[in-house]
Amino acid sequence: MEKIGFEKRDLLISAVKKARGEQKETGAEFQDAMTQLKKLSGFHGGNLESGYDKFKAENDDCEEQAAAVRSRVREVDMVARDLFREWEREARQYESAALAADSRRQLSETQLRFDQLSRSLHAAESSMDPVLRQFRDQVLYLKHNLNAAAIGSLRGTADNIQANIQRLVEQMNRSIAEADRFTQAL
C-alpha cells in the first residue's frame, strides 16, 4: 500500500477506527436484539411467530456484526505487525547511533501501547461469543417452543442475557476508548 501512497501508520489508525466503529455497531445490534427478546418475554398472546422472526433477524444481525468485528481486529493485528516489522527493519538503516536508539525506544513504547490496545480489542471480541451463544440458544428455544408459555419462561433468561449484553457493551466502550487514546497518541 505504501507504493500507492498509504503509510502503514495511517493504515493502522484507519483499521483501529474501523474496529472501533464495528464494535459500536455490534453493541447497538446486541441492544436491539435484547429489545426484541424483552418484547417477546413480556408477550401474552398475539402473533408469536412475528415476534420470533424479529428476534431471529436481530440475532442474525448480531452474528454479522460480530464477524465484522473479528475481521477488523484481525486487520488491526496484521497492519500493526507489518508496521512494526518495517520499523524494526528500517531502524537498522540509521547511520546515527543516537537516532537509531531513539527510534528503537519509540518503537518499543509504541509496541507496548499497541499491545495494551490489542489486548483490549481481543477481550471485547472474546466477550461477544458467550452472548452470541445465548442468543443462538434463545432463537432455537423459541423456534421449538412457539407458544405463550415458552415466552413467559424466558423472563429470567432475558434478565441474564441483558446483564451479559451490558457487560459486553461496557467492554466494547472501554476498547473504543482505548482505540481513541491509541490513535491520538500516534
Instruction: List, for residues 87-113, the tens digit of each pLDDT value.
Output: 999 999 999 999 999 999 999 999 999
* Total structural domains within the chain: 1
Cα(11)–Cα(15) distance, integer angstroms: 6
As a whole number, the mean pLDDT across the chain is: 79
Percentage of the chain lying above the pLDDT 70 cut: 73
pLDDT score for 115? 95
Domain ranges, residue 159: 2-185
For every residue of the chain, which 3-state class applies, written as one string? CHHHCCCHHHHHHHHHHHHHHHHHHHHHHHHHHHHHHHHHHCCCCCCHHHHHHHHHHHHHHHHHHHHHHHHHHHHHHHHHHHHHHHHHHHHCCCCCHHHHHHHHHHHHHHHHHHHHHHHHHHHHHHHHHHHHHHHHHHHHHHHHCCCHHHHHCCHHHHHHHHHHHHHHHHHHHHHHHHHHHHHHHC
How much is the pTM?
0.59
pLDDT score for 62? 85
Among 4-18, 53-67, 157-171, which range has the highest average pLDDT? 53-67
Q: Which residues neighbour 111 within 8 Å (Cβ) at sequence distance 6 or greater?
A: 84
pLDDT in tens, 153-168: 556 666 676 777 777 7
For residue 84, pLDDT beyond 50: yes
For residue 42, pLDDT beyond 70: no
Cα(166)–Cα(169) distance, integer angstroms: 5
Instruction: Give the mean model confidence (pLDDT) for residues 141-157.
Output: 59
Q: Which amino acid is at 39?
A: K
φ/ψ bin of 5: left (φ > 0), alpha (ψ from -120 to 50), beta (otherwise): left
Among 19-23, 119-123, 137-141, 180-184, which range has the highest average pLDDT? 119-123
The backbone torsions φ and ψ at residue 57, rounded to the nearest 5 degrees and listed phi first, read -65, -40
CB 38: neighbour CB atoms within 10 A? 17
Of 78, 62, 77, nearest to 122 by C-alpha is: 77
For residue 114, pLDDT beyond 60: yes
Cα(152)–Cα(88) distance, integer angstroms: 60
Could you tell me the maximum CA-CA distance found in the chain, to the nearest angstrom?
78
